[in-house]
Amino acid sequence: MLRATDRTAVPWKNGGGVTRSIAAHPEGAGTADFEWRVSLAEVGADGPFSGFPGVDRILTVVEGAGMDLTVGGQRRLVDEQFAPQSFPGDAPTECRLLAGPVVNFNVMYRRGRPAPTVAVVRGALTVAGPALVVALDAPARVDGVTLDRYDAVLTDEGGATVRAEGRAAVVTLPRSGEVASPMQ
């Protein structure tokens, strides 16, 4: 169990927000050496996103009205909660908040390696294989473990049953020893 109350807020260099790391692989990896990383980011001001060379992002707004992003010179309106959005983490990205602060659920992974997938679900779901499940706006249960808002649990290779009262993020993780296909 990865309790939200146990996470430390790490301020951004630009002062525009804080990040709380949920999980990373390998365990304990920092921003320079993770294969995948999952976090919650509180964005409190307009400004640039940090660049991550060779990394792709999947961003999901979970609180607030959203953001008007410019990613690699292309405008991208991100104004729907619980709708995962993918974009390159190394493209210069500017953010303008639409109506005050937001909280983003972020999944980042190294390009060229097996990619996690993100789905936001409600109700019951059986997950096959390893996954990270995070309760987003209401409690969820994963194989009998109750998750409060923003709590998370890692499931193993055998999978798990998820029951979300509200919305839960299910991040399907690469299996141990899995390699990227040439199409990625």
Q: Is the pLDDT of residue 179 over 50?
A: no
Does domain 117-172 sit in CATH 3.40.120.10? no
Going by their DSSP bridges, the two strands 102-110 and 55-63 should be labelled as antiparallel
State how far the Cα of 1 lies from the Cα of 110, in Å rounded to an integer. Answer: 25
CB 94 within 8 A of CB 14: no
Question: Start-end ranges of CATH 2.60.120.10 in the chain?
Answer: 7-110, 117-172
Q: Is the pLDDT of residue 175 over 80?
A: no
> What does the pLDDT read at residue 174?
87
pTM score of the predicted model: 0.93
Nearest Cα to Cα of residue 101 among 63, 70, 137: 63
Q: What is the CA radius of gyration of the chain?
A: 16
* Per-residue pLDDT tens digits for 13-56: 778 899 999 999 999 898 889 999 999 999 999 999 999 999 99
Mean pLDDT of the chain: 93
What are the phi and psi torsion angles at 170 (to 5°)? -115, 110
Confidence of residue 68 (pLDDT cuts 50, 70, 90): very high
Task: Count Cβ atoms below 10 Å from residue 29 Cβ, excluding itself.
Answer: 15
Pick the CATH number of 7-110 from 3.40.1710.10, 3.30.365.10, 2.60.120.10, 3.40.1360.10: 2.60.120.10
Tell me what percent of the residues of the chain surpass a pLDDT of 70.
Answer: 95
* Per-residue pLDDT tens digits for 109-126: 999 999 999 999 999 999
* Per-residue pLDDT tens digits for 76-99: 999 999 999 999 999 999 999 999
> What does the pLDDT read at residue 178?
55
Nearest Cα to Cα of residue 43 among 92, 105, 115, 86: 105
